[in-house]
Structure 1
Amino acid sequence: MTLLGIGLLTGVTTVLFGFGGGFVTVPVVVWADSALGADAIRVAAATSALVMVANAAFATVVTPRRVVGVLRGGGPLLLLLGAGASAGALAARHAPAGLIRWAFVAYVVLTVVDLLLRPGFLRPRAQAAVAPGAPRPLPAAVGAPVGAVAAFLGVGGSVMTVPAMRRAGHTMHVATALANPLTLAIALPAAAVFLGGSGGLVGTEADVTLVGLVDPRAAGALLLGALPVIAVLRRRPPSIPDRLHAWTYVGLLAAVALAMVR
């Protein structure tokens, strides 16, 4: 029931913040699979990737075409995000578990500091038009490193793309909606890699059934809670003032960082 409840929250974060599940899923699966010891973080990153595939795909399908149209012509960016994600997932299968955990914490903390101190996120410049040809989230050249970092940590990449879109002048509503197709480009190849093998997992004697590095029980419970929420919120999105939306995004990241260091 706890995982189902967290799945509801994951659905909310997918729609409102563009987090396809990663920043919420990783701490929760670390807790749920604590019997795996240090290896729980690798299972969490892998399970997060699978959850993000479903959440981000569903959220993308129900996003208005005029919004998704901003990514028209962005094929090179999507391909490089996917290539980087494959490399990042392969690295996560064999990296020391402690490295992944503390890299996750450092990544989130640095992102929060950047959002608070660097101009353009909390107070964006004039809003950009939502139309094909409007500024893209990232230049194609950085797709591979963004995909690699996101897949290695199990976070999906939205914490890079949403601030970039904000600084290009998009509202939080548009920026978070566009994060979902970009997350899908990262999560799909990453999930395939994680499902392909255990990567030398040492905690297999624990009472946790895995497919590759993925915990299907946790993923199923999280998705059962998330998908109905995504469907409802995409059809009836809440009206949130843009600045409050941005501050809530920062607050959620800070809460996740605190949860991972406890």
Structure 2
Amino acid sequence: MPDVVSFSVLLAFGCLTGVTTVLFGFGGGFLTVPVVFAVTGQMHVAVATSAAVMVVNSLAATLAQARAGRLRRDRVWPLAGFIAVGAAVGALTTTRLPEPILRAAFVTYLLITIADCLLRNGFLDRGAGPGGLGPVARTAGGAGIGVVASALGVGGSVLTVPLLRRSGLPMTEATAIANPLSAPVAVVATVVYAVSADGPTGYVDVAATGLLLAGSLPAIAITRRVTGRIPDRVHAIAYVALLVAVTITVIVTG
């Protein structure tokens, strides 16, 4: 059970997770993995707990974004199905990886994503679009997103948001669609992690999950009222800046 300091940290980061879920489609992974790792000292527990939090956050944000009319069914399906398949592979692989390798993979993943957003055209400034996703992006790309996302407990938005952004969508829509695309990753990964270790919930830390959700759900309800008012380029820059901050946090706590 978390002590008083850990209790406060998890609750505060839960609030921040709710904000980033709505604004950036993160579902919580980039924030919950480093903070749970800092509290528990176990990367497998951090990844599993992050996935459990994302199940609730991504579904809550999906409902909020659907009510706001920001979801496009043609961009969600069948990509979500292939992401789910990849998620099962990624989660099973992660349970067999040593902790240092998992931490190094998480940092590498973040660094590559930041470089891609900054160095390739179409992210900071909206892509030409409005073309849809091709068959390769929907199938092999979706499966690859699922593998990476579930293995690292990050939901996949760091791959789906740039992908959707470069297809011509504004940041508001790209981040909104990232929420339902994170849900299959979170559900599959949570089930795998819950049965991959001793105890009724496996690697999932129930106390940490509850504290994070206690902060995130009210934040989601509040933040959904202001999303869409942020200028598109500012929204994109803030997305990259948050990735940089999370990368530094993971390196420091590691």
The answer (yes or no) to whether the contact 1:194–1:214 under 8 Å persists in 2 is yes
What corresponds to 1:111 in structure 2?
A: 113
Q: Say which of 117, 129, 132 aligns to 1:135.
A: 132
What corresponds to 1:171 in structure 2?
A: 170
Please list every run of 5 or more consecutive structure 2 residues that lacks an aligned counterpart in the other structure.
1-7
The verdict on how the C-alpha distance between 1:62 and 1:4 changes in structure 2, with shifts beyond 3 A counting, is: same
Q: Deviations over 1:194-228 (max 9, x none)?
A: 111218xxxxxxxxx98200111111100110011
Q: Does 1:57 align with 2:59?
A: yes
The answer (yes or no) to whether the contact 1:70–1:135 under 8 Å persists in 2 is no
What corresponds to 1:190 in structure 2?
A: 189
Q: Deviations over 1:44-97 (max 9, x none)?
A: 11101000000001111121364323336713x222211111111111111111
Q: Does 1:89 align with 2:91?
A: yes
The verdict on how the C-alpha distance between 1:72 and 1:122 changes in structure 2, with shifts beyond 3 A counting, is: closer
One-letter code aligned to 2:225? R
For 1:167 and 1:142, how far apart are their aligned partners in 2? 14
What corresponds to 1:70 in structure 2?
A: 73
Q: CA deviation at 1:237?
A: 2.6
One-letter code aligned to 2:236? A
For 1:135 and 1:51, how far apart are their aligned partners in 2? 30
For 2:194 and 2:177, how far apart are their aligned partners in 1? 26
The answer (yes or no) to whether the contact 1:210–1:216 under 8 Å persists in 2 is no
Please list every run of 5 or more consecutive structure 1 residues that lacks an aligned counterpart in the other structure.
35-39, 129-133, 200-208
Q: Deviations over 1:223-243 (max 9, x none)?
A: 110011111222343621111
What corresponds to 1:217 in structure 2?
A: 207
Q: Does 1:162 align with 2:161?
A: yes
For 2:61 and 2:239, how far apart are their aligned partners in 1? 18
For 1:71 and 1:185, how far apart are their aligned partners in 2? 16
Question: How many residue pairs align between the two structures?
Answer: 242
Q: Does 1:257 align with 2:254?
A: no
TM-score normalized by structure 1?
0.87
The verdict on how the C-alpha distance between 1:236 and 1:104 changes in structure 2, with shifts beyond 3 A counting, is: same
For 1:45 and 1:143, how far apart are their aligned partners in 2? 20
The answer (yes or no) to whether the contact 1:82–1:186 under 8 Å persists in 2 is yes
For 2:126 and 2:45, how far apart are their aligned partners in 1? 37
What corresponds to 1:23 in structure 2?
A: 30
The verdict on how the C-alpha distance between 1:87 and 1:126 changes in structure 2, with shifts beyond 3 A counting, is: closer
The verdict on how the C-alpha distance between 1:196 and 1:41 changes in structure 2, with shifts beyond 3 A counting, is: same
For 2:19 and 2:95, how far apart are their aligned partners in 1? 29
Computed over aligned residues only, the root mean square deviation of the Cα atoms, in angstroms, reads: 1.9
For 2:182 and 2:203, how far apart are their aligned partners in 1? 20
Q: CA deviation at 1:105?
A: 0.0
Percent of aligned pairs with the same residue? 47
Q: Say which of 230, 233, 237 aligns to 2:223.
A: 233
One-letter code aligned to 2:53? V
Structure 1 segments, 4+ long, off by >4 Å, are: none
For 1:167 and 1:184, how far apart are their aligned partners in 2? 22
The answer (yes or no) to whether the contact 2:82–2:138 under 8 Å persists in 1 is no
